[in-house]
Structure 1
Amino acid sequence: MTIRLGYGTNGLTDLRLDDALGLLADLGYDGVGLTLDHMHLDPLAPDLAARTRHVASRLQELGLGVTVETGARYVLDPRRKHGPSLLDPDPEARAARTRLLVRAVRVAADLGAHAVHCFSGITPPDTTPDTAWQRLTDSLAPVLDAADRSGIPLAIEPEPGHLLATLADFHHLRVLSGDPPPLGLTLDIGHCQCLEPAMPVDCVREAAPWLRHVQIEDMRRGVHEHLPFGEGEIDFPPVLEALDTLSDTGYRGLTVVELPRHSHAGPELARTSLEFLRAHSPSNQDPPMRDPSSHSPSSR
Structure 2
Amino acid sequence: MSEKDFPDDLFDKALDALDETGEEPIKTEGIKAVPELLQRGYYDKAVDIMIKIIEDSDPYSINDKIAVTDIAHQVAQEDANIIRRLLPYLYVIYNKTEAYLTRASPDPVLIMNTANVLTLAKSVLYDEVASLKQKIIDVANQISKEYKTVNIPLGDVATRVGLSLVVVLLLVDEMLLNKEVRGHYDSVGDILTLESDKARCYNCGAEFSKDVEKCPSCSTEFPKCVICRLIIRTIPVSCPKCNNSAHREHMLEWLKMSHDKKKDKGMCPICQNYLGPEDLK
TM superposition score normalised by structure 1: 0.30
1 or 2, which has the higher strand percentage? 1
Larger RCO of the pair (alpha carbons < 8 Å, separation 6+):
1
